[in-house]
Amino acid sequence: MDNMDETKKTDTNEETQTPIVMDDKVIVVNPDIDPRAHWYVVHTYSGHENKVAITLKQRAEAGGFTDRIFKIFVPHQQKIVVSEGKKRAVDEKLFPGYMMVQMRMEDDSWYIVRTTPGVTGFVGMGSTPTPLAESEVRTLMKFAKMEAPKFEAKFAVGDSVKVNDGPFKDFLGKVDEVNDEQGKVRVLVSVFGRETPLELDFTQVTQL
């Protein structure tokens, strides 16, 4: 996982060439935070969280709202996905369809967020957005930043698989146990008529 707590990471939106400053996986609109600002949860179209966050940053800057909108956080975590025997790192959203905005809640700042393309509303009681406790946001940021990458594969106990690597290559068996934390699977194969358990990496087996 990228160590983003030591260095700030800058990306660029290709269409506008607007620098996107990332600090602890947060899009920083204005680091000078008003003490009256709070974090709010905003509902977005699922799969569009990052795009909505960047659009909101650009709208806040263009509309002169950088004194009311400060940071945007899309909670995500890196995982190692195993597909077709190969590992690749992906960023997985912790809460698909949601992002968090640190802002000073006023009618016009509410409006600029609410009318950002892809935003469907604020989370709160009735029509009133409910601020999050600062401790909750810090916990989420720490989790997204510090949690070790996990393996993810489409294996379940009872699946039929084929061993594609090692001394038992081409043997067929059934999944007996899955360890997502270590990226390993225990497979029962028949060797000389006896059921034998093998502990293999996700990359060493293919689902049938």
CA distances from 207 to 41, 82, 170, 194 (A): 39, 11, 12, 22
pLDDT at 19 over 80: no
What kind of fold does domain 9-151 have according to CATH? Alpha-Beta Plaits (3.30.70)
Q: Which residue has the higher pLDDT, 155 or 39?
A: 39
| CA–CA gap between residue 83 and residue 85 (Å, rounded) | 5
Q: What is the mean pLDDT of residues 79-102?
A: 79
> Among residues 81, 92, 78, which one has the least CA distance to residue 3?
78
Higher pLDDT, 87 or 42: 42
CATH code matching the domain that covers 154-207, chosen among 2.30.30.30, 1.10.3720.10, 2.40.50.140, 3.90.1170.50:
2.30.30.30
Instruction: For residue 53, name the pLDDT band (cuts at 50, 70, 90).
Output: very high
**How far is 19 from 152, CA to CA, in rounded Å?**
32
pLDDT digits (tens, 9 = 90+) for 94-116: 888 999 999 999 999 999 999 99
Contacts of 138 (CB under 8 A, 6+ apart): none
pLDDT tens readout for residues 26-39: 899 999 999 999 99
In the chain, domain spans: 9-151, 154-207
- Given this chain, do its domains 9-151 and 154-207 carry the same CATH topology? no
End-to-end CA distance of the chain: 31
Average pLDDT over the chain reads 81
Q: What is the pLDDT of residue 2?
A: 39
pLDDT at position 152 is 67
Position of tokens 């950088």?
66
Residue 111 backbone phi and psi in degrees, to 5: -65, -40
- Mean pLDDT (whole number) for 198-203: 85
What 3-state class would DSSP assign to 157?
Answer: coil
